[in-house]
Amino acid sequence: MKEYKVVHLKLGWKNRLQALEEILNQYAREGWIVKEMGHSWTSAILERDKNR
């Protein structure tokens, strides 16, 4: 079974790519996989196995 999470990304104006990378890497360490990115990188839908 899968579980999903929607996160709103607060990247600021400086170093947006670096901030995005850090946020996604943190979620990846928790087992989340990006399924879809929202318009202008303001949100992301994440997925992981529920029984991990």
Q: Record the tokens describing residue 21, joined without a space.
A: 């990378």
pLDDT at 39: 77
Q: What is the pTM of this model?
A: 0.81
pLDDT at 14: 81
Tens digit of each residue's pLDDT (9 = 90 or more) over 3-52: 999 999 887 778 888 888 898 999 999 999 999 998 777 899 999 999 86
pLDDT at 13: 77
pLDDT at 47: 97
35: left (phi over 0), alpha (psi -120 to 50) or beta: alpha
Give me the residue spans of the domains in the chain: 2-49
